[in-house]
Amino acid sequence: MKLLQVKDSETMARRAADLIGAQLLLKPRCVLGLATGSTPIETYAELVRRFREGALDFSKVTTVNLDEYCGLTGENPQSYRYFMQQHLFGQVNIPPENTHLPNGAAADPAAECARYDQLIEELGGVDLQLLGIGHNGHIGFNEPDTAFTAPTHQVQLKEGTIQANARFFSSIEEVPKAALTMGMSAILRARKVLLLAGSDKAGILRAALYGPVTPQVPASLLQLHPDVTVITTGAVQ
């Protein structure tokens, strides 16, 4: 694992964009695993800036996002599809048909999860997976107690996660109680992992990186991965 402790979120975004940019240059036809949440927003803005400068080309890239809320369509401003459209897809030259998220509005969530795993397999897996981390150590929406081998599945969100994400909604009642998330198994199979964490996550990040590997802290499973880069503004060591 490579740990980069940086001084501010702007530096974090630049370092993350360097790594994602390098992936695009080395393999233009790559598969990027993408994340939502507030932490990667500046990284997406930096990627957009570099695209506008002509330094990056997304025309051959395919993306698979980690997760989506159940019951929300892509037109809903609270959906992760909408978030991605706003912050990245709508701002760069990625073909819309190359951008994938689980469909949270699918009538048959189990079939949708199976479709998503099949899609990731057909794409040849994820080259670089971008991750944030929840305050309880969740990755995507893999909440504590998720099996190491979980495929894409439907989860009931923990109360703390609902509260943490309520800031994006006008009231806590509007936060969906369930989501579809890529499982830890696909995340661990990504060839490279890039985890971003602000200083508010220092405690859980320390537990994830240096504590026991346990499903109680899903991010701790990343200790089993051979190529993880963590960029943080927090004092972890």
Active site members: 67, 136, 138, 143
Q: How far apart, in whole angstroms, are the C-alpha atoms of residue 116 and residue 45?
A: 27
Which residues face 64 on adjacent strands? 33, 100
Any contact of residue 182 with ligand GLP (CB under 6 A)? Answer: no
Q: How far is the CB of 118 from ligand GLP (least distance, A)?
A: 22
Beta strands per DSSP E along the chain? 2-5, 31-34, 62-65, 67-69, 99-100, 128-131, 153-156, 178-181, 192-197, 228-232
Strands (E), 40-191: 62-65, 67-69, 99-100, 128-131, 153-156, 178-181
Asked if 35 interacts with ligand GLP (CB under 6 A), we say yes
Convert residues 146-165 into a mask of x (bound to ligand GLP by CB under 6 A) and - (unbound).
---------------x---x
Under the binding rule (CB under 6 A), the answer on residue 67 touching ligand GLP is yes
Give the separation between CA 74 and CA 82, rounded to whole angstroms. Answer: 5
Among 133, 180, 230, 236, interactor with ligand GLP by CB under 6 A:
133
Q: Is 56 in the site for ligand GLP (CB under 6 A)?
A: no
Identify which of residues 38 and 237 has a Cβ nearer to ligand GLP in the complex: 38
Shorter beta-carbon distance to ligand GLP: residue 134 or 176: 134
Residue with tokens 């609902």: 162
Give the interface with ligand GLP as residue ranges (CB under 6 A): 35-39, 66-67, 132-134, 140-141, 161, 165
